[in-house]
């Protein structure tokens, strides 16, 4: 698939030019450019490339076909859900490590959502995002613990509002490197996307940072490590991991947010972060609270510490 730039089209930015020519979004075009899948005069270009008359832009048609094909989620009964509570409105699961909550644009076939579609097909129409039916909040792929899932639209709106207004109680257990400077504290540091792919970072409001509040209490001290109870009052992506790493106390086993200065290492292939308590008011106004014990792998780590 080739495009030849005319005299009238000169000085346009490459990403804007292609957005006007193709049935895809500007962000999708930018990803293709950054991946080197779009060439200008047979050479890789940048998103900010400004076009000249007679420039030839080349794209493999299969990339555009992949972006424009209809996205459909498939039920996957192989994804087993550990359900600890269920009624007509909600499902509470205890998520295991290594499982995505919902598919990305790549339509991964073995996410929590794929398992939900097999378990409860009616959930397909619940929510406000076709790739996230029933999902009102999420846990990172490697993080374990409690998650609330909605079985109908009325419940989805009810719990979505509670999450948005910070009325859901969310407590985690985390093991961090080093000794915290205070046994109890509240971290108030705004967070936004980092320049590094797939990461978040502490940034000022002027830099686009959004309000993020994390409270913690040290519940046990070990040599070189502290076990924390962490409560998040906001729900930013990677919030706990980013905040603790910024304080120079990264979470044990976190490969994305780690520091070279950390000398004491433990044999753990996932972040020591577990969603332990989830509390909220149901549709009748009654408070419900659920608790989850640490997975065996994390308990084993604690028993090895002194």
Catalytic residue among 140, 267, 269, 286: 140
Count other Cβ atoms within 10 Å, centred on residue 101: 19
Closest listed residue to residue 172, CA positions, set 235, 246, 113? 235
CA distance 260 to 256: 12
3-class DSSP assignment, residue 65: helix
Do 42 and 73 form a contact (C-beta atoms < 8 A)?
Answer: no
Closest listed residue to residue 278, CA positions, set 167, 184, 127, 120? 167
**With 0-12 CB in 10 A as exposed, 13-18 as middle and 19+ as buried, what is 169?**
middle
Catalytic status, residue 89: no
Q: At 116, which helix (H) or strand (E)?
A: helix 112-119
Closest listed residue to residue 168, CA positions, set 183, 153, 158, 154? 158
Do 103 and 120 form a contact (C-beta atoms < 8 A)?
Answer: no
DSSP state for residue 17 in the 8-state scheme: H
Question: Phi/psi of residue 273, each to 5°?
Answer: -145, 125
Give the torsion sign (CA, 106, 110, 111, 114). Answer: positive
Residues labelled catalytic: 140
């Amino acid at each position: 698939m080739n495009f030849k730039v005319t005299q009238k089209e000169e000085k346009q930015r490459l990403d804007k030019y292609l957005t006007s020519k193709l049935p895809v979004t500007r962000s999708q075009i930018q990803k293709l450019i950054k991946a080197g899948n779009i060439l200008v005069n047979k050479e890789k270009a940048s998103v900010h490339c400004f076009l000249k008359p007679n420039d030839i832009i080349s794209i493999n048609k299969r990339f555009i076909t992949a972006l424009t094909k209809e996205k459909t989620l498939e039920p996957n009964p192989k994804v087993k859900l550990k359900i600890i509570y269920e009624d007509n409105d909600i499902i509470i699961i205890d998520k295991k490590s290594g499982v995505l909550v919902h598919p990305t644009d790549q339509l991964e076939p073995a996410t929590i959502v794929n398992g939900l579609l097999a378990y409860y097909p009616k959930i397909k129409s619940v929510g406000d995002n076709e790739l996230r039916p029933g999902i009102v909040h999420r846990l990172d792929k490697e993080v374990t613990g409690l998650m609330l899932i909605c079985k109908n639209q009325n419940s989805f709106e009810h719990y979505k509002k509670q999450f948005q207004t910070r009325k859901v109680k969310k407590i985690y257990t985390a093991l961090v490197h080093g000794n915290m400077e205070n046994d109890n504290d509240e971290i108030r540091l705004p967070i936004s996307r980092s320049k590094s792919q797939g990461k978040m970072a502490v940034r000022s409001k002027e830099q686009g940072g959004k309000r993020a509040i994390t409270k913690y209490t040290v519940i046990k001290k070990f040599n070189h490590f502290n076990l924390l109870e962490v409560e998040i009052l906001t729900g930013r992506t990677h919030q706990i991991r980013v905040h603790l790493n910024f304080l120079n106390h990264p979470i044990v086993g976190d490969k994305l947010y780690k520091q070279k200065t950390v000398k004491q290492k433990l044999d753990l292939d996932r972040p020591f972060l577990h969603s332990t308590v989830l509390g909220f008011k149901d549709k009748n106004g009654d408070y419900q609270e659920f608790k989850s014990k640490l997975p065996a792998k994390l308990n084993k780590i604690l028993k090895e510490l002194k």
